[in-house]
Amino acid sequence: MKVQLLDLNAQYEPIMQDIRHEMDKVLSAHQYILGPAVKDFENQMQDYLNVKHAIGCANGTDALVLALKALKIEQGDEVITTPFSFFATASCIHRVGATPVFADIKEDTFNIDPDQIEKAITKKTKAIIVVHLFGQAAEMDKIMAIAKKHSLYVVEDNAQGIGCKYDNQYAGTIGDIGTLSFFPSKNLGCMGDGGMCLTQSDDLGAKLKQLRTHGESPKYFHQWVGLNSRLDTLQAAILSVKLRHLQSWSVARRKNAKLYYELLKDVKEIQLPYIHPKAETIYNQFTVITDRRDELMKELQSKEIGCAIYYPLPLHLQECFAYLGYKKGDCPISERIANKVLSIPIYSELPAEQIRFVADTIIKFYNK
Ligand SMILES: *Cc1c(COP(=O)(O)O)cnc(C)c1O
């Protein structure tokens, strides 16, 4: 039995006709840059996430750069973030000329540790970038309190957590600016690249809109140097169709997770994802921790079960950030976890018998 880590065909097959229909509308209107489908999708996202402004852009990485530019983060500023995330979380800080400062994670949730944030604050600290890793919100109550106490901005990198909540509030709408990615493997993915900024602030909303079109307003007059970073009109049309299903997809992922918890509860050698009581996760990944990670990965691969390591090398140890002067041992939890994590299939359409097969394979591996 072959089990894919993600099967986009299963996701698209039932909705392809609706998608083609919406794409045809774009093709007949010929309004390709910020066409009506973009505004429609932005409005739908504002309703879905209960947020005042949703601003589409070209990808999740640009969304982070736009967020930092809107907050005037620049050379000489420090931005605290997690070393255990996708590269873009830290590269955006470098790209605006500021300095990334890494605060280690908590071992149970994989999310940034509020106590470590507080320890990393200096006179130069301007902002915190929080990541809701694998679809689980970080501890936003504690992080917002720290930000308030030290007058710092909070950017929520919610590329992996669309629709997840903390304390019943949608992640990405709690800090000053939240960002989303519509990369195909995210829970709401498009057929290419796409991204979005979210904010409750009218000022920041207007500024983000201006920044995504070269910082111009009115046309050909530039108050700031912005980006050329718009959400493509075709992608917006596709996303509008998919958004109708997002809620049910999240429910299906949680149901799949529940089955893993039942089937794997007696396997002492692996630790299943810990979900914070205040967090409602959407399981972009189902990531387990095990000392024999590389062996288990080989075993799963030999049975044609898709699995992946997110992420094998923490950001503070990446070659491109050597100039920051971090060394091994500076973020010990991230470093240890990077050697132990393994993400296994969890996508919405994953059949129960495949989940059973994955669980069986894991159980047999540890009983050998
Ligand atoms: C995917 C991802 C991004 C970047 O999104 P792109 O759309 O690929 O640019 C940023 N941060 C995190 C945590 C991600 O997982």
Position 314 scores a pLDDT of 98
Query: Residue 142 — very low, low, confident or very high, per pLDDT cuts 50/70/90?
Result: very high
Cβ pair 50, 199 in contact under 8 A: no
- Ligand 1 mean position, distance from CA 248 (Å): 23
> Looking at residue 81, what is its pLDDT?
98
Is 179 a domain residue? yes
Mutate to test the pocket of ligand 1, among 183, 186, 196, 309 (most ligand atoms within 8 A of CB): 183
Could you tell me if 238 and 260 lie in one domain? no
Q: Which residue, by CA, sits nearest to atom 5 of ligand 1?
A: 60
For residue 186, give the CATH number of its domain.
3.40.640.10
Average pLDDT, rounded, for the chain: 98
Ligand 1 atom at shortest distance from the alpha carbon of 195: 7
283-298 burial, b for 16+ CB within 10 Å, e for fewer?
A: bbbbbbbbeebeebbe
Tell me the CA–centroid distance for residue 321 and ligand 1, in Å.
18
Q: Are 99 and 86 in the same domain? A: yes
Q: Is residue 321 part of a domain?
A: yes
Identify the CATH number of the domain in which residue 255 sits: 3.90.1150.10
366: CA distance to ligand 1 center in Å? 34
- The boundaries of the domain holding residue 139 are 10-243
Please tell me the predicted confidence (pLDDT) of residue 295.
98
CB of 284 shorter than 6 A to ligand 1: no
For residue 136, the CA-to-ligand 1 centroid distance in Å is 15
Under the banding of pLDDT at 50, 70 and 90, the label for residue 174 is: very high
| 61 Cα to the center of ligand 1, angstroms | 6
How much of the chain, in percent, has pLDDT values that exceed 90? Answer: 99
Q: Does residue 59 line the site of ligand 1, with CB under 6 A?
A: yes
Would you say residue 3 lies in a domain? no
User: Domain end: 195, 223, 243, which one?
Assistant: 243
First to last CA, the chain: 21
Specify whether 88 is located in the same domain as 118: yes
Over range 295-323, report the average pLDDT. 98
Position 221 scores a pLDDT of: 96
Indicate which residue's Cα is closest to atom 13 of ligand 1.
86
Q: Is residue 1, in this structure, part of any structural domain at all? A: no
Residue 2 domain-assigned (yes or no): no
Mean pLDDT value of segment 266-294 = 97
Average pLDDT over residues 317-332: 98
Q: Is residue 325 part of a domain?
A: yes
pLDDT at res. 311: 97
3-state secondary structure 311-332: CCCCHHHCHHHHHHCCCCCCCH
Would the CB of 111 count as within 6 Å of ligand 1? no
Q: Which amino acid is at 147?
A: A
Tell me, yes or no, whether 285 and 331 share the same domain: yes
Q: Binning pLDDT at 50, 70 and 90, where does residue 151 land?
A: very high
92 & 149 share domain? yes
Mean predicted confidence (pLDDT) in 274-302: 98
Q: Are 273 and 308 in contact (CB under 8 A)?
A: no
Partners of 342 in the β-ladder: 288
Using a 6 Å cutoff on CB, does residue 85 contact ligand 1?
A: yes
Q: Is 45 in the pocket of ligand 1 (CB under 6 A)?
A: no
330 occurs within a structural domain: yes
How many domains, the chain? 2
